[in-house]
Structures are given as C-alpha cells and as structure tokens.
Structure 1
C-alpha cells in the first residue's frame, strides 16, 4: 500500500508511534525514530503501551459483561491492532454497537479493518477531533441510541489536549448527552515517573508531532467528577482489575486510568 493522501511521513504521529511500540507495522521511519528516542530515555515506554492495551481489553470485557453495556463510543481509537474494542465487546455481546472516532488519515485508511462487525451488532468509524464533541455526538447518533447507556472511552487521547480545563470540558460535554447508566473509561500518561516526563518533554521539544501532556493522577481523577467511580479508583493501568496470574501484581507504570458510572 502506498502512502495515503493527507499522511505526512516526515512528521511523527502519536498513533503511529504507539503502533510501533506495540509491535505493529502501520508506521513510518520517522515514527520508529521518535519511538526509539523516547525508549532511549525511558525504556519503560513499551511497558506503558502494553499495559495500557491490556487495561482496555479488561475494561471492555467488564463493560460488555458485568455492566451489560451494548454501545461504545471509542474516541482516539488509533490504528487497528489485536483485540480492538468491537472484537472484545462482540465476543461477549454479539449485538454490541461500536463507533470509533479518530482524526488521523492513516487510521481512516485502515478503518476497513475496524469496520467489521458481527451480524447482530454494528461498527462504524467517524473522522473527527476530540475537541469537537458536538460533531462527534451528531455523527455517532446514526449508529448509537443515546436513550440507552453508552460506554465513552477516552483511552490515551486527552493528553494530546494541552489545556486541562478544555479536557474537563470535553468530558462534561460528551457525558452530558449520555443517559444514566452510561460509563466513562479513561487512561492517560501520568507525571509519576521523572524519567517518563523527561522523555515526553524531549519528544515535545522536537516540535514535529502533536505535543503530549502527562498529568497527575489527581488531575486525571477530576475527569470523573459527578460520576460514581468504580473500584479500584484511579490507579496505574497495570493495577486496574488485573487478571489473576501466578506472578502477582504487574509493575506500576506511569499511566493511570479508571472507570466510572453516570448515576
């Protein structure tokens, strides 16, 4: 496949860097170079990407299973990889309906891989920016029924919005449209490890990609104001309801997340 129109292969992109760190192939030399620079300063970056992905899987499994959610709005989905939201949800609930949202042209090109659904459910893709909640909600209404509970997933996307108050506004505007029983799931990079913060600062200083802002667990926790936070609260992604294993808990990583329910 050639380079899709609108994709600048001279500038690293967060979705493609993430794809590279996860071991994917949908990236370019500039993305691999940026990923390698981050890992040189902070080797734990690969752990963050993989533990984050595993948390997403556990969150969707919980929401589609125990919580009974049948609709998902996944904003900032990134490039397709294993166990995408619709795959996890529809394994549990074949009638689940999923809307993916991203604003990266390369993700749009690969959306065909996302636009596969069980016969009973539905999967759709919207090209839009997280900073425009109203446009997202208007388009998502073609697939989702906003009179029934929806799981809003903002996994690793709010760190790309540099203003903390704008982040909270985005969450409030999205959740305001969703009915009681809906859930919010978030994870994002945290400022809990100085080496991680330094690596991100170096990346941002390069001025070639969209800057990323790690935030404190307390700041990330404010996204859930007015909602009922589920146990274990705002924690390292590796500690959010981990699957049992004989080796005990995984290591804490500089990425925290949580899930909350709208009363």
Structure 2
C-alpha cells in the first residue's frame, strides 16, 4: 500500500462540502445537471431546484458554450472509461465529482427510457461486471446517486460523500451494504472530470497524491478548462462564467494551461494524443453555437510499473 500526504494538508478554501450552503444557493453539480441534461436531450428533475434552473438559464444566455463543453467532456469521460475497461483490462473505477443522475433520456419518439444514467451505467456499457465508486462533493447528488443505484439494484456500485482532497477515505473505506472495498493490489481507473477547474491555485500536489496512492497499471483521466488569450472571445466567455460561479459555494474558476496539466503526470505514461483539446475526443461544437467555444484540455495517463 502506498502512503500519501495528509489529505487535509491539501485542503484549499471553499472546497469542503457544506449542506447549508448547498441548500441556500445554486451549486456546480446541480447547474451541470441542468445544462448537461439540456445538451443531452434528457429529462432530469431529481435534485434540481428552482435556483439552479435560474442560474443555469443565465449561464446559457451569457455563456452558451458551457453546456456544449459539458456534453463534450461527457463524451471524453465515456471514451476514457472504454479505454480503461477494454484496452487496460481495468474492472474497478473511482469517479471523483460524480454528478447528478441524468435522465431519463428521451427517444426520437419522445418516449422515456426506464433508467437514469449514472457514471456507473456508462461503465457498464463497456463492462457489465464493473465495480464503481461514485464520489460526490455535494450531499444532494450523493443522495440521488444512492437512490438510483438502489432502484437499479446495482450490486457493485456505491456512493460516498467526500471532498476531492480526501485522498485516503474513499479509496480505503468499506462501501455499500455488502461492505466491499476497492482492491488496491490491482489497477484502478480514476476520473477527475472538470474538478481541477474548481481547485484554487496549484493542483499538482493533489493530483500527485492520487498518483502515489494508486497501484501500478492504474489509469487517470482528467479534464479542465484551459486558459485563453486575453481579449479573445474565449477569454471573455471564461470571465462571464467565472462571474456566474461566484454565486455558488465554489466561487473560484481556475483555467489550466496545457504545460501545467502535462506536468501533473511526470513519471506516468500520457496516452495518445497527450494533453489534447476536448474537441479531439468529441464532436466539434455546433455551427450555430451562440458565442465562443470554451477551451477544455483532456488527458489520460497510465501509472507505469515501479
């Protein structure tokens, strides 16, 4: 077993779950649930409050590229999970900042499907027998994830409420009514989609703490908003988004440069095509997109044998 620095030494301000703050204002997870559902043509209502829809509508008006970027990152997540399961043979997964269950989705005939989509069901499309730990930063998404897993009678999936800097807890705890835990003697697939964008300051120590904790052969997939040249439409869009997110419990938006993200994976094998734009993984934004495409970097890295 590897050791890591005390995770609470890594704690930045504004990133510890706070139920009172969640209920008093819109949150990032619920905003993303609204906007991602719109982009995916899903009918998501669970865990979404009027305050979330109000702020989401303002963001959609001012920063229409945000919802598009969320959908593109969902495609990247799905492709990363497929790579982990099929190319690397991984069968246990940790999803950091797991979001609200999405859906049910509408078919072409506007008929509802029976089940909501979670990150666990995304994995099951590639590996039905997968073990998945959904790590939620917020209490409302965590509660709804638990309800969906129970309703779907999922046996090897569980939820845990934890901030992303709690490196030890989710990886080592017992989960679910069956009291199972991750097997850290074999590779783990871990995803951190969007989270580095909400971590103020340098995120290197946090990323490397996860690197150090995971066994050889493990794979990490990361996405984060990228920096933009001052004065460009993309920079203006990021500024508008940052002003809206001030009204959430996570008021900091921290875009990351490509060299910064590449430096997180020193000693790991960056998978092709390295640190690449999300458009490399997903379809380009629609031609009729109002406003600018937001810059997003994505990367997949494998821990080489020690």
Fold agreement, TM-score > 0.5? yes
Rate the CA distance shift 1:117–1:190 in 2: closer, same or farther, 3 A: farther
Superposed CA RMSD: 2.2
Shift of 1:59: 1.2
Shift of 1:95: 2.2
Shift of 1:117: 6.1
Larger-gyration structure (1/2): 2
Alignment gaps of 5+ in structure 2: 1-18, 38-43, 103-115, 229-233, 286-292
Give the structure 2 partner of residue 184 of structure 1: 220
Within 5 A, what are the aligned runs for 1:59-208? Answer: 59-81=80-102, 83-111=117-145, 112-115=147-150, 116=152, 122-139=156-173, 142-164=180-202, 167-192=203-228, 193-204=234-245, 206-208=246-248
Is the Cα–Cα contact under 8 Å of residues 196 and 254 in structure 1 kept in the other structure?
A: no
Give the structure 1 partner of residue 26 of structure 2: 12
Moved over 6 A (4+): none
Shift of 1:194: 0.8
Give the structure 2 partner of residue 246 of structure 1: none
Shift of 1:207: 4.5
Q: Whose RCO is larger (CA < 8 A, sep 6+)?
A: 2
Shift of 1:8: 3.9
2:260 aligned with 1:224 = no
Give the structure 2 partner of residue 245 of structure 1: none
TM-score, normalised to structure 2's length?
0.74
Alignment gaps of 5+ in structure 1: 243-248
TM-score, normalised to structure 1's length?
0.85
